Amino acid sequence: MYKSAIFILTLISFSSCKSASELKSEQYFVEGYQLYTTNCANCHQADGKGMSNLYPPLANTPILSDKAAIACIIKNGMKGTILVNGKEFNRPMPANPKLTEIEIAEIVSYVGMKFGKDSLYTPIEVVQQALANCKQY
Amino acid sequence: MRTSNRIQHLYTFFFVLLLAGIAGCQERRLPILGERDWVKKTVDGKEVVDTIYNAIPAFSFVNQEGETVTEKVVEGKIYVSDFFFTTCPTICPIMKRQMVKVYNEYKNNPEVMILSHSIDPEHDTPQVLKKFATDLGVTGTQWQFLTGSKEKIYEIGQKNYLSTAKEDKTADGGYIHSGAFILVDKEKHVRGMYDGTTEEGTQKLIADMKTLLEEYKK
């Protein structure tokens, strides 16, 4: 009886653990969607495809897997010429000093899941660590 | 009995036709916007009151090709005007995306032009504007990107295009300006203001431009 209770509790904890992470992914996705719409979509567009030769796309770009780079660029902006999917872009991206670490984590999660290949969210710790060691982009 | 009934029907039919004809005469006209003034003058010994409408005054700016552009450029044309700056992170990209739709709708129509004024002329030199236009996919001179004296641009925006444009260090990007598209007729009167940040505003503008062009067809 005691043993089986432990067994069942363990099972529950495992399944709830998994769903907690999924739940968090959903939360981050929804929050990230709102933040993306207000802060990013003007230029990068709602569908992440960018705008002609003015603003680069995010959808299906390799940089989406580099969470540290994405977090730092959102926070500090970016300048200089970049090559995205074979096209050159060189308009500066403004910094977003008002965004908090958790908000950046939510945006990174959203773009990663919506426009990249991620199935789960990017935890705030990853963003915190990245922001503490940003290089110039 | 039957014949008179038939005649009665015929009369009704013509009466309806007449009504439809009258209604058809009153086509939709766009209003003239902005402050008005009235002057009294004497015509044939009688005193009459004349209305002076808000009109876009003479101007002189520089376009993306580095050429001086005056009110002559829009002579005999209707045009859409707006205010933006190339480094604007907020509403300008949306406005430009929407304006591209207007541009594509009336591309190569010799009666239609677009004038986009930069409110950050110190940064937005003709070269910067040229690069912006090219990157946006705009070639030729039907869509002019204008720069020039900041005071003159703000003044014509505020006073004549009925549109806010000013510096504000607290705003993202450093400037606040309205997201309006302003429709101007061949007599330089403002005939419509549209929210250039929305699809509804843009579609209304495209439709009203058609209405306005119709006015000149007679």
Report the distance separating Cα B75 and Cα B63, nearest Å. Answer: 16
Of B91, B93, B173, the CB nearest to A51: B93
CATH (domain of A114)? 1.10.760.10
Of A42, A53, A92, the CB nearest to B93: A42
Q: What is the pLDDT of residue B24?
A: 54
CB-based contact A53 B97, cutoff 8 Å: no
Among the listed residues A30, A112, A100, A36, the one whose alpha carbon sits nearest the alpha carbon of residue A70: A112
Q: Report the CATH architecture of B56-215.
A: 3-Layer(aba) Sandwich (3.40)
Q: What's the whole-model pTM score? A: 0.78
Question: Is A79 domain-assigned?
Answer: yes
pLDDT tens-digit map of B93-123: 999 999 999 999 999 999 999 999 999 999 9
Question: Which H/E stretch holds residue B180?
Answer: strand B180-184
Question: Is A105 domain-assigned?
Answer: yes
- Give domain limits for chain B: 56-215
Q: Is B74 exposed, middle or buried (0-12, 13-18, 19+ CB in 10 A)?
A: buried
B143 in Cβ contact with B109 (< 8 Å)? no
| Residue in chain A lying closest to B128 (CA) | A91
Among the listed residues B6, B145, B163, the one whose alpha carbon sits nearest the alpha carbon of residue B85: B145
| Residue in chain A lying closest to B97 (CA) | A51
Q: What sections of chain B are H helices per DSSP? A: 2-25, 92-105, 126-136, 150-159, 199-215
Residue B163 CB neighbour total at 10 angstroms: 22
pLDDT tens-digit map of A67-84: 999 999 999 999 999 999
CB-based contact A53 B93, cutoff 8 Å: no
* Residues within 8 A of A (CB atoms), B 96-125 only: 96-97
Q: CA of B87 to nearest chain A CA: how many angstroms apart?
A: 8
Question: Is A6 domain-assigned?
Answer: no
CB-based contact B90 A42, cutoff 8 Å: yes
Report the distance separating Cα A78 and Cα B163, nearest Å. Answer: 32
Helix (H, G, I), strand (E, B) or coil at A71: helix
Q: What is the pLDDT of residue B2?
A: 56
| Residue in chain A lying closest to B88 (CA) | A94
Among the listed residues B195, B159, B177, the one whose alpha carbon sits nearest the alpha carbon of residue B55: B159
* Total domains in the fold of chain A: 1
ipTM beyond cut 0.85 = no
Report the distance separating Cα A25 and Cα A31, nearest Å. Answer: 10
Among the listed residues A118, A111, A131, A113, the one whose alpha carbon sits nearest the alpha carbon of residue A69: A131
Residue B196 has pLDDT above 90, yes or no: yes
Report the distance separating Cα A98 and Cα A96, nearest Å. Answer: 5
Q: What is the span of the domain harbouring residue A40? A: 23-132
Q: What is the pLDDT of residue B17?
A: 60
Residue B29 CB neighbour total at 10 angstroms: 11
User: What residues of chain A lie within 8 A of the CB of B91, using their CB?
Assistant: 42
